[in-house]
């Protein structure tokens, strides 16, 4: 079933929307959640909560890309669940490791101006990523959006873990320089 047809089912409030979504995007959402939580049961719970989140938000929202929309819901739910658990025990530290790698590149919260700053930051990061070669961009996104372990990224791209680690280090430094050039305080 096409994404537009699935979205139409949500707008028509037909329960078959959830089944169609689960069939088409279940494995995709589960992999996002599992990469964060490292627990099948917790990942499955987040995926089920994703379907509920999609049901509650459509309408009024009508996503342009259903996969990205569902991925974002799943990722946010999984990160929230990770906060509830002792990350070192349940999440094997992968999410924290990936996010801590970006700490030097991402500015700290600034209170009231935070929402505007986040929009500017997001656009600047997107611009940076658009300028990168496809493979580097995909590796960066897999690590810092999907929170994939370096080992898995290395296997998928036929690289050594040290090469992936080095590539990510250089990209973080380039991102930091790009953000500083854009005038974004780190």
Question: pLDDT value at position 107?
Answer: 56
* Same domain as 77, residue 57: yes
Enter the tokens of residue 163.
């090469």
Find the CATH number of the domain harbouring 80: 1.10.1740.10
pLDDT at 87: 44
DSSP string, 111-177: GGGHHHHHHHHHHHHHHHHHTS-HHHHHHHHHHHTS---HHHHHHHHT--HHHHHHHHHHHHHHHHH
Domain ends where: 44, 67, 91? 91
Examine the domain organization and report whether 84 and 55 are in the same domain.
yes
Asked if residue 76 and residue 105 are part of one domain, the reply reads: no
pLDDT confidence tier of residue 90, bands split at 50, 70 and 90: very low
Instruction: For residue 164, give its domain range.
Output: 95-181
Mean residue pLDDT across the chain: 85
The two structure tokens encoding residue 15? 């329960």
The CATH number given to whatever domain includes residue 161 is 1.10.10.10
Same domain, 82 and 134: no
Average pLDDT over residues 31-47: 91
Q: Is the domain of 99 the same as that of 86?
A: no
Tokens standing for 172?
Answer: 């973080």
What pLDDT does residue 116 have?
63
From 43, 60, 91, the end of a domain falls on: 91
Which CA distances in Å does 2 have to 98, 107, 128? 33, 39, 31
Inter-residue contact 146 to 35 (CB < 8 Å): yes
pTM over cut 0.85: no
What confidence score (pLDDT) does residue 114 get? 62
Residue identified by tokens 């459509």 is: 58
At residue 122 the predicted structure's pLDDT band, cuts being 50, 70 and 90, is confident
- Could you give the CA distance from residue 106 to residue 121 in angstroms, rounded to a whole number? 8
Instruction: State the Cα–Cα distance between residues 126 and 182, nearest whole angstrom.
Output: 13
Q: For position 39, what pLDDT does the model report?
A: 87
Of the segments 27-41, 111-125, 157-171, which one has the largest average pLDDT value?
157-171
Rounded Cα distance between 33 and 29, Å, is: 6
Residue closest to 140 by CA, chosen among 156, 126, 129: 129
pLDDT of residue 30: 95
Residue 47 and residue 31 in one domain: yes
User: Would you say residue 167 lies in a domain?
Assistant: yes
**What mean pLDDT is predicted for residues 123-145?**
92
- What pLDDT is recorded for position 179? 87
CB 75 within 8 A of CB 32: yes
Number of domains in the chain: 2
- What is the Cα–Cα distance from 4 to 21, expressed in whole angstroms? 11
Q: How far apart are CA 51 and CA 88, in angstroms?
A: 28
54 and 132 fall within a common domain: no
Do 81 and 157 reside in the same domain of the chain?
no
């Amino acid at each position: 079933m096409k994404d537009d047809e699935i979205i139409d089912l949500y707008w028509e409030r037909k329960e078959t929307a959830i089944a169609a979504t689960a069939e088409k995007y279940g494995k995709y959402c589960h992999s996002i959640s599992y990469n964060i939580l490292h627990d099948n049961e917790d990942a499955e719970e987040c995926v089920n909560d994703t379907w509920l989140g999609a049901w509650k938000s459509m309408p009024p929202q009508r996503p342009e890309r259903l996969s990205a929309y569902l991925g974002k819901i799943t990722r946010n739910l999984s990160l929230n669940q990770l906060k509830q658990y002792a990350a070192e025990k349940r999440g094997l530290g992968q999410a924290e490791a990936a996010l801590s790698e970006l700490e030097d590149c991402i500015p700290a919260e600034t209170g009231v101006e935070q929402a505007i700053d986040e929009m500017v930051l997001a656009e600047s990061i997107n611009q940076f990523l658009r300028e990168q070669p496809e493979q580097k961009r995909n590796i960066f996104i897999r690590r810092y959006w999907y929170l994939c372990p370096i080992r898995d990224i290395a296997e998928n791209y036929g690289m050594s873990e040290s090469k992936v680690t080095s590539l990510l280090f250089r990209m973080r430094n380039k991102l930091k320089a790009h953000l500083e050039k854009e005038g974004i305080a780190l």
